[in-house]
Amino acid sequence: MKHEAVLIVDFGGQYDQLIARRVREHQVYCELRPYTITLDEIRAFDPIGIIFTGGPSSVYDDAAPHIDPGVFELGVPILGICYGCQLMAQALGGAVTPAQDDSAREYGKTYTYFDTNCRLFKGLPAESVTWMSHGDYMAKVPDSFTLAAHSDNCPNVAIADEARGFYGVQFHPEVNHTEFGRDMLKNFLYEVCRARGDWTMEDYKNSAVASLREKIGDGKVLLALSGGVDSSVAAALLAEAVGSQLTCVFVDHGLLRKDEGDQVEAAFAPWAINFIRVNAEERFLSKLAGVAEPERKRKIIGEEFIRVFEAEAKKLGKVDYLAQGTIYPDVVESGTGDAAVIKSHHNVGGLPDYVDFKEIVEPLRLLFKDEVRQLGRELGLPEYLVSRQPFPGPGLAIRVIGEVTKDKLDTLREADFIFRDEVAKAHLEGTMDQYFAVLTNMRSVGVMGDGRTYDYTLALRSVTTSDFMTADWTRIPYETLDAVSTRIVNSVPGVNRVVYDITSKPPSTIEWE
């Protein structure tokens, strides 16, 4: 069954992926595509609605991103957000100019007044707070549009052409700071686009299983199984689709957390799958020797992963497909179209040019993390596995800042275990979504006993998030942080200072490298 779909056109805004997540929360499938998408590609996508994202550019600049104006002739409803709103206005006969004074510029929380007769704001309060971020001004609104919202400083916070289903908002409805923003998006989807809401994980599971069976046929599949949520759900989905045709290879690259290799093997022992554990610590560490730059580390690890799989595949005989647990944030952060590369993921941007398999299968490629967890539950995976916090493919190699050595890894393993253990003792697991330790490459003077030390600084990181596209640092109680710090500096050799990272995403990423 083909799902109804919304097309999100990416103009480079910082919240673009969050828009996609919000749409899917309302059980409507969507995809994020670059603004270079052609009219033919849009027609082939067959969207029930289109959303233009925000972006850092000004629409009147010659180099600003634009879209084929024919999109406005397709008869498809369009919602423009921030830059997307101004782009629509400019393209349809309006005029956008730089704000002439500070009063026309709006940033941050802004009290806003709405016309609730407009379908976009139907059933919502006439006054609420929105999150603004614009320095340009719509000096002229297109003739076919009416004003649908205003603020004390700006008369055209939202515009609407109800007949064509075109709407533009100068604020960001996708962020939590905009009160009722999710309801506005829901109104666009259901009141304007007339969505049915057919995007559920049960439907996705059934369609994905059928699609995998058709694609793979009687071929053999090799899956990289780390024991993390993504690869585990991918394994369960493939197992349901092709059963004994699947071989799961667990590469123990020596970059795992304390005792994790044994735990992964034990967790999958009851499964009716062909499970192979490859102990490759020495191989990976030799390749990483002397390498400090994080992107090089990621690409080296990605290359070695593929080479290990190729070697195992040759032992197994003919293997047609390599399966990976790539998810949507991996794809987006690794760069698509003109988007910037935030970091290369070992199973996306870190792939070598040559791969000795017929094709790569990525059954979770279009899912966000929380959707992957929902799918895991639909597949009957145990909750302890489905709820497990994320762990990066390159493992502790990107949590050791700078050069990676076995000694540093052992130090980090012990410290990270203590952090997770104290969080568990304080029953705080439910208050955070990802938490871990990072061994920095900074050394500082300390005093232990009567002697001077010159050892490493260890950083603790914990975030709370619903989608891993944005995240807030966790307010861990001081008592717990004190217990973690005291235990680490007293029992982990080589660490004499512990710090806590209080930076959200954005501007930082969740991982340090």
Q: Which residues are catalytic?
A: 82, 172, 174
Beta carbons of 132 and 126 less than 8 angstroms apart: no
Q: Is 101 helix (H, G, I), strand (E, B) or coil?
A: coil
User: Phi, psi at residue 148, to the nearest 5°?
Assistant: -115, -10
Q: Which helix (H) or strand (E) holds 132?
A: strand 127-134
End-to-end Cα spacing for the chain:
40
Nearest to 406 by CA among 414, 155, 42, 186: 414
Backbone angles phi, psi at 140, to 5 degrees: -140, 125
306's CB contacts (< 8 A; 6+ apart) are: 322, 351, 352, 355
> Cα–Cα distance between 254 and 148 in angstroms, integer?
58
Cα 341 from Cα 4, distance rounded (Å): 30
Residue that the structure tokens 């609407």 belong to: 160
Token pair of 315 as six digits:
């032992």
Nearest 5 degrees, angle CA 210-CA 213-CA 214? 85
Query: Do residues 477 and 432 make contact, with C-beta atoms less than 8 angstroms apart?
Result: no
Cα 268 to the chain's mean position, in Å?
26
Please, are residues 486 and 495 in contact by the beta-carbon 8 Å criterion? no
Partnered with residue 112 across adjacent β-strands are 128, 151
Residue whose pair of structure tokens reads 């290990």 in the numeric block: 308
Helical spans, DSSP H, in 387-513: 406-425, 478-491
Secondary structure class of 54 (helix, strand, coil): coil
